[in-house]
Amino acid sequence: MISVASATKRYGRTAVVDDVALELGDVGVTAIIGANGAGKSTLLSLIGRLLPLDSGRIEIDGLDVGATKGDVLARLVAVLRQENHLTARLTVRDLVGFGRFPHGRGRIDAAGRAAIEEAIAYLDLEPFAERFLDELSGGQRQRAFIAMALAQDTRYLLLDEPLNSLDLRHAVEIMRLLRRLAAERGTRVVVVLHDLNFAAAHADRIVAMRDGRVIADGPPASVMRSEVLEAVYDLPIDVREIDGSPVGLYFR
Amino acid sequence: MALLAVASTFVGVADVTPGSLLAQGTDGEAARLLVASRIPRTISLVLAGASLAIVGLIMQMLVRNRFVEPSTTGTAESAALGLLAVTLLAPGMPLIGKMGVAAVFALAGTGLFLLVLRRIPVRQIVLVPLVGIMLGGVIGAVTTFIAYRYDLLQTLGTWMTGDFSGILRGRYELLWIAFVLTVLAWVAADRFTVVGLGRDVATNLGLHHGRVLAGGLAIVAVITATVVVTAGVIPFLGLVVPNIVSMVIGDDVRRGIPWVAVLGAGFVVACDLLGRLIRFPYEIPLGIVVGVVGAALFLWLLLRKGSRAH
């Protein structure tokens, strides 16, 4: 379990994450939604110890994120930020291989090699495995980074807007993949999503944030309601049921 | 590379050829020259070339910019300033002590460069080396001013222009420190690649970003200082060689290091040979030859189609 206790992160005088208490990782796929600046990405970075907490405490399976050794955490949780500006010229297979770094400090054994090939196959990257990252499209590169996180073989996987720069087909494929990971490997996925309908269609649980606080939390049916979504996004959103699942209409 | 090294030992004013060696035997003039001057010169060229090229590679990973190396980040100028300071304040210090002071200055100068970079978030990657060159210019100006006041301009000149003509046995052995550090860098190669992927990815993979940065900068500073102390600054080497290797086999440091080392050593030995042959029997200092050839190659790297500088 990931337990967040009164976590706070300030930039200047504004609290971007404001006294958040939350338990995550109870279900397969948890989606965090909210408007720009709601604190979703910051919260994910705090959990993944990419940012230091100002106050509060975050534990993953009982290990304090701020005090546990880096490589111990790296075998437990993988976190992927949205911008991966890359200047290094690596092949896809090399990059995915670095996902094994926490397991062998650069030495890759047979199990590691199998994990790398599996991650590459999971994301349909076999045709590009020997290509350099700077020769790929944005979507292919994004998938390569997700494959690296997969090769890390952790119980928890934190992804910050992984659908950015993906076309619709690849976006749907990534969400299906996250579901598959949860079902086949028991991975607990926490994913920040921009599009609430992707969250509604694929997540087991939706956490909605606004102004650094959690304002709604529960299964999609309980969060996907007009009055809740209007409070989250400051926008009237009509929710319809299509084939038994809720869909938010907000395009006009 | 091996051929170049052999050729390098047989080029010089005095007649040292395989024939003269055989004719005079191991006690002859040619053999003594070979052991005292020619072989040390070739060894130091190889060590300096390989280690400086690797320093460039490491810096490019640490700063995440492919146009940085000791002469574009203020590192080399800071080392020279340190050397000047120790020459003025403690002239009797042994060479290794001088090297240590120069390394501390080089580390401080590079740290200053990183601090400046952090203050001004640079969007264009070519601006990063420009910031470093400006910083190096300021440090260089201070150094020149001090050297001018104390009548040490000529000494400063020998540090700022790499020249291997004064290398003799007993005057180059510090470079073995650089050799040890390059081996260390090879052992830690994967860490540098991971840091080259950015702070977030490095943290995610369980690496202490700050520690790798500090360790890498220490290697950079000490190697730069040893080369500046023994022979002087060799510009562009750490920039040109890793970029060419990167174009062909990519940026995986562990895979790249042997190629960077061999190519760096070969490039320096070839440039030194060129400098000795162009107006034989006189010499053109290596720093100047590498500066001209390296600058041309650097421009080509910047202008070539598909360069990521644009």
H-helix segments, chain B:
2-9, 18-24, 29-33, 39-63, 75-89, 95-119, 127-149, 153-160, 175-187, 189-196, 199-204, 209-230, 237-249, 253-277, 286-303
Residues A43 and A149 placed together within one structural domain of the fold: no
Task: Report pLDDT digits (tens) over A215-229.
Answer: 999 999 999 999 999
Structural domain that includes position A149: 80-153
B24 domain-assigned: no
Nearest CA to CA, how far is B309 from chain A (Å)?
11
Lowest mean pLDDT among A70-74, A81-85, A207-211: A81-85
Q: Which of A42, A83, A89, A105 to mutate to test the interface with B (most CBs of B within 10 A)?
A: A89
Beta-carbon contacts of A24 under 8 Å, excluding residues fewer than 6 positions away, are: A1, A2, A3, A4, A30, A47, A188, A190, A207
Residues A130 and A200 placed together within one structural domain of the fold: no
Query: What's residue B134's pLDDT?
Result: 93
What ipTM goes with this model?
A: 0.90
What CATH number does the domain containing B206 carry? 1.10.3470.10
H-helix segments, chain A:
40-47, 70-74, 92-98, 101-104, 110-122, 138-151, 168-185, 196-202, 220-223, 226-233
Please judge whether A99 and B205 are an interchain contact, meaning their C-beta atoms are less than 8 angstroms apart. yes
> A248 phi and psi, to 5 degrees?
-90, 135
Please judge whether B252 and A90 are an interchain contact, meaning their C-beta atoms are less than 8 angstroms apart. yes
What CATH number does the domain containing A226 carry? 3.40.50.300
Average the pLDDT over A75-80 and give the result. Answer: 95
Residues A24 and A102 placed together within one structural domain of the fold: no
Query: What's residue B310's pLDDT?
Result: 43
**Counted domains in chain A:** 2
Residues A66 and A126 placed together within one structural domain of the fold: no
Residues A164 and A240 placed together within one structural domain of the fold: yes
Structural domain that includes position B122: 2-7+36-303
Residues A85 and A70 placed together within one structural domain of the fold: no
In chain A, residues 164-193 whose CB comes closer than 8 Å to chain B:
none
Query: What's residue B32's pLDDT?
Result: 79
Residues A141 and A240 placed together within one structural domain of the fold: no
* pLDDT tens digits in sequence order for chain B, 310 residues long: 777 777 777 776 666 777 777 777 667 777 777 878 888 899 999 999 999 999 999 999 999 888 899 989 999 999 999 999 999 998 888 889 999 999 999 999 999 999 998 888 766 778 888 899 999 999 999 999 999 999 988 888 888 888 888 787 878 889 999 999 999 999 999 999 999 999 999 999 999 999 999 999 999 999 999 999 998 899 889 999 999 999 899 999 999 999 999 999 999 999 999 998 888 888 888 989 999 999 898 888 878 755 554 4
B290 domain-assigned: yes
Residues A67 and A27 placed together within one structural domain of the fold: yes
B280 domain-assigned: yes
The mean pLDDT value of chain A amounts to: 91
Please judge whether A87 and B64 are an interchain contact, meaning their C-beta atoms are less than 8 angstroms apart. yes
- Categorize the per-residue pLDDT at A86 as very low, low, confident or very high, splitting at 50, 70 and 90: low
Query: What's residue A85's pLDDT?
Result: 65
B25 domain-assigned: no
Nearest CA in chain B to A87: B64
Residues A68 and A97 placed together within one structural domain of the fold: no
Residues A84 and A146 placed together within one structural domain of the fold: yes
Please judge whether A152 and B246 are an interchain contact, meaning their C-beta atoms are less than 8 angstroms apart. no
Of A88, A122, A153, the domain-final residue: A153
Lowest mean pLDDT among A110-114, A167-171, B166-170, B277-281: B166-170
In chain B, residues 69-128 whose CB comes closer than 8 Å to chain A:
125
Nearest CA to CA, how far is A87 from chain B (Å)?
6
Residues A202 and A241 placed together within one structural domain of the fold: yes
Query: What's residue B269's pLDDT?
Result: 92
Residues A84 and A185 placed together within one structural domain of the fold: no
Is A112 an 8 Å CB contact of chain B?
no
B28 domain-assigned: no
Query: What's residue B307's pLDDT?
Result: 56
Of A153, A184, A205, the domain-final residue: A153
